[in-house]
Amino acid sequence: MLTTNKAIQKIKKIGVLTGGGDCPGLNAVIRAVVKSGIRQHGVEVVGLINGFAGLIHGEYRMLTEHAVSGILPRGGTILGTTNRDNPFRYAVQEKGETVFQDLSDQAIENMQQLGIEALAIIGGDGTLAIAHQFYQKGVPVVGIPKTIDNDLSATDVTFGFDTALTTACEAIDKLHTTAESHHRVMVLEVMGRYAGWIALHAGLSGGADVILIPEKPFSIEKVCAKVHERCSQGKKFSIVVVAEGAAFEGGEMVVQRLVQESHDPVRLGGIGQQVANAVEKCAGLETRVTVLGHLQRGGSPTAYDRILGTRFGVMAVNLLAAGQFGQMVALKGTEILAVSLEEAISRLKRVDPEGEMVQTAQSVGISFGT
């Protein structure tokens, strides 16, 4: 545990915000920031409403221990969040058209007017990239990694992933019984953006027959070959787990829509239905699709995510109190450490297509359509 140097412990008020998509465990982090900030460092904590929008518009609430009482098991975030309000590229309407303005100076001015001396910013790669931009402008910040996608390279695990994985695994368990009863192929589309962590872990833990991930473009013929193989063994049903970013060999990811105001405007979705259509045609079995979507973001966080979020929150406040800015808290092995924000956002963590997890899945008969 990092120890605070009293000589540099001058911060009296910190701000905390949650940016990007919500995920289970956010409230655990907020609670930890508030309770450890007050109890260990005697600081006031300001909660900024709806992510960076709170900085831009000066919307906030004071966070006391009473304010965070009972929120540990709650999903979502009591502060609200958004994945659109980037202060460095804020969408405004001018003469009926959308234009983008840099309102970062306005955000910093509001921060100063509120007496906020440092920020704890909770988010994924997009939110932390904005945090790094603020740090480059001289704002004292510490980042806390959050995403169900588990795709931040500087930490072994992000909080929210375990809960999303549990939801996906439970869905596979339920699909097994109906698939077997009706002799169907069930396709489950899960989130993950450009990384296949949710699909890989859920498919392995749930006993899927086929796992399709972005890191391994797949052949529908080989997917169907796996289905036919099972049929020849008397197993006239199959479970296919497909990551939203997966793609056919020679094809591209399926884009559902674009949100231009967002840090990452691409919204993936639809690959599950395409896979189902193709499997039904070539395998000759009735095929149904389930898209988990935002169910993976909701609900009460698992014990693992509550503990990890709490550890992250406490470490973030310790870093702020010690004046160690421009850092992100990270899990490395069993330890909570600090890494630079620059390193944290330098690249996405993706599944190694030849790695041990993939090999383990293949060893127990799971096909990746390759």
Q: What is the pLDDT of residue 94?
A: 85
266-268/97-101 β-pairing: unpaired
The label of the residue with tokens 């009460």 reads: 300
| Rounded-to-integer distance, Cα 195 and Cα 153, Å | 11
CB atoms within 10 A of CB 345: 22
Rama region for 53: left / alpha / beta (φ>0; ψ in -120 to 50; rest):
alpha
327-332/141-145 β-pairing: parallel
Q: Distance of CA 222 to CAs 193, 209, 212, 344, 359, Å?
A: 23, 12, 11, 37, 17
Indicate whether this model's pTM tops 0.85. yes
| Rounded-to-integer distance, Cα 111 and Cα 24, Å | 27
Q: What is the pLDDT of residue 263?
A: 65
Q: What is the pLDDT of residue 175?
A: 97
Q: What is the pLDDT of residue 267?
A: 78
Query: Which one is catalytic: 22, 85, 125, 149?
Result: 149
Q: What is the pLDDT of residue 255?
A: 87
Q: Tell me, what amino acid is at 272?
A: G
Q: Distance of CA 145 to CAs 122, 153, 236, 318, 353, Å?
A: 6, 10, 42, 16, 24
Q: What is the pLDDT of residue 8?
A: 42
Residues 6+ apart with CB under 8 A from 366: 203, 204, 208, 209, 210, 211
Q: What is the pLDDT of residue 200?
A: 98
| Rounded-to-integer distance, Cα 248 and Cα 369, Å | 9
Closest CA to 202 of 40, 351, 51, 12: 351
Q: What is the pLDDT of residue 4?
A: 40
Per-residue pLDDT of the chain (370 residues), as tens digits, is 343 444 345 899 999 999 998 999 999 999 999 999 999 999 999 999 999 999 999 999 999 999 999 999 999 999 999 888 999 999 888 888 888 999 999 999 999 999 999 999 999 999 999 999 999 999 999 999 999 999 999 999 999 999 999 999 999 999 999 999 999 999 999 999 999 999 999 999 999 999 999 999 999 999 999 999 999 999 999 999 999 999 999 988 888 777 766 667 777 889 999 999 999 998 888 899 999 999 999 999 999 999 999 999 999 999 999 999 999 999 999 999 999 999 999 999 999 999 999 999 999 999 999 9
Domains annotated on the chain, with CATH: 6-159+301-333 (3.40.50.450), 162-296+352-363 (3.40.50.460)
E strand or H helix that includes residue 10? none
Residue 149 is a catalytic residue? yes
Q: What is the pLDDT of residue 157?
A: 96
